């Protein structure tokens, strides 16, 4: 076996928990049995979802019984979508989804439609339907719900996908898809949307300057009823530094409010704030951040075990997933 394959298998074993010498804990109740965060952001499922690897991109089935998330090494060379399910009132140990197990492709950014019938995600896998055999640019792929699982992935195709990079799908109740398009070779991304009518997507439209308000913007989450959009924006003067989360409210006449920085409860001076999600029950806002821990327990003397433990912890420089009550969205709207 080649050394690269050994390394890949080791990474995937870590992702799935197989490398751990500890038994997976019994987790019961909603949201992996985690204590609700209230009005202050808390790290989500430390040691389970948020670990020493970089975690991001949450998606859930409408009933909350399946939770998907992305996990990657810091260099993004090994990345996959993982799943944990609530079976007989107990959450299963996270594992790499079968469709995302090929280490040669980059799979990220899961999005489940509000009705739970479609699963969208980013991938650079080859489109065999078009005769491709080598990985290509980033496109949006989709799967259909079949029983308790998913169909084989297929490329969403034109007009959403193009010769440029398309990623981070987010879908409304009526099937409209919001996504990022980035010209190949350019660092600048913009938010687009495409309406679904009679089973076909319309030509994508670039959203107005209220949504595309910075030097670059990407990975936007749209509320299922299209009442607001949360956008990670780079390059605004009112940011805390680097990329921040902004919220823009939409009116029934399809006009948009001015972007609002989501504030110090959410944003930091760090750069890894680019994956928002609101739970299907509307209760919690999940977001990716590289916030450092302020509660480290320092030993009296430095020792090897302590250093090893630091390496295994979340909040040690890689991105983690945090959550907070969506009351913060209502408060921002009423300001």
Written as one string, the DSSP assignment of 44-107 is: SSBTTTBSSSEEEEEEE-TTS-EEEEEEE-TTSSSEEEEEEEEETTEEPPPEE-GGG--TTS-E
Model pLDDT for residues 237-294, shown as the tens digit of each residue? 999 988 999 999 999 999 999 999 999 999 998 778 999 999 999 999 999 998 766 5
Tell me the domains of the chain and their CATH numbers.
Answer: 3-18+41-334 (2.120.10)
Look over the chain and give the mean of its residue pLDDT values, rounded to a whole number.
88
Least confident range from 4-13, 30-39, 233-242, 257-266: namely 4-13
The predicted structure's pLDDT at residue 315? 52
The predicted structure's pLDDT at residue 299? 65
The predicted structure's pLDDT at residue 91? 97
Confidence of residue 326 (pLDDT cuts 50, 70, 90): very high
Contact 184, 222 (CB under 8 A): no
The predicted structure's pLDDT at residue 309? 62
Contact 321, 44 (CB under 8 A): yes
Model pLDDT for residues 281-293, shown as the tens digit of each residue? 999 999 999 876 6
The partner residues of 122 in beta bridges, in order of sequence, read 108, 140
pTM of the model: 0.87
Place of tokens 């302020």: 294
The predicted structure's pLDDT at residue 314? 57
Model pLDDT for residues 137-186, shown as the tens digit of each residue? 899 999 999 999 999 999 999 999 999 999 999 999 999 999 999 998 89
For the segment 188-215, the average pLDDT, to the nearest whole number, is: 96
Whether 220 shows a pLDDT value over 60: the answer reads: yes
Residues in CB range of 269: below 8 A, 6 or more apart: 240, 241, 242
Share of the chain above pLDDT 70, in %: 86
Whether 104 shows a pLDDT value over 70: the answer reads: yes
The predicted structure's pLDDT at residue 86? 97
Whether 126 shows a pLDDT value over 80: the answer reads: yes
């Amino acid at each position: 076996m080649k050394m690269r394959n050994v390394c890949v298998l080791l990474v995937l074993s870590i992702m799935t928990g197989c490398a751990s010498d500890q038994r997976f804990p019994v987790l019961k109740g909603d949201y992996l049995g985690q204590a609700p965060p209230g009005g202050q952001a808390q790290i989500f499922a430390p040691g389970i979802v948020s670990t020493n690897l970089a975690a991001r991109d949450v998606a859930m089935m409408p009933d909350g019984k399946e939770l998907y998330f992305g996990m990657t090494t810091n260099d993004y060379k090994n990345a996959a979508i993982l799943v944990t399910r609530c079976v007989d009132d107990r959450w299963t140990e996270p594992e790499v989804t079968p469709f995302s197990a090929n280490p040669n492709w980059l799979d990220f950014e899961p999005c489940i439609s509000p009705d739970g019938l479609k699963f969208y995600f980013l991938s650079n896998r080859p489109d065999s339907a078009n005769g491709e055999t080598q990985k290509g640019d980033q496109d949006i792929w989709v799967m259909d719900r079949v029983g308790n699982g998913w169909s084989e992935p297929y490329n969403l195709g034109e007009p959403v996908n193009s010769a440029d990079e398309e990623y981070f799908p987010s879908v409304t109740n009526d099937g409209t898809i919001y996504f990022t398009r980035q010209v190949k070779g350019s660092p600048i991304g913009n938010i687009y949307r495409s309406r679904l009518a009679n089973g076909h997507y319309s030509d994508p439209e670039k959203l107005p300057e209220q949504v595309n308000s910075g030097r670059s913007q990407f990975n936007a989450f749209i509320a299922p009823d299209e009442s607001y959009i949360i956008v990670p924006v780079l390059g605004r003067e009112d940011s805390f530094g680097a990329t921040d989360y902004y919220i823009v409210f939409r009116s029934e006449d399809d006009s948009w409010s001015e972007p609002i920085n989501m504030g110090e409860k959410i944003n930091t001076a760090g750069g890894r704030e680019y994956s928002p999600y609101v739970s299907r029950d509307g209760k919690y806002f999940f977001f990716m951040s590289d916030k450092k821990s302020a509660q480290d327990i320092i030993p009296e003397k430095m020792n090897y075990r302590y250093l090893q433990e630091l390496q295994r912890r979340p909040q040690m420089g890689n991105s983690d997933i945090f959550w907070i009550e969506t009351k913060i969205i209502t408060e921002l709207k009423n300001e």
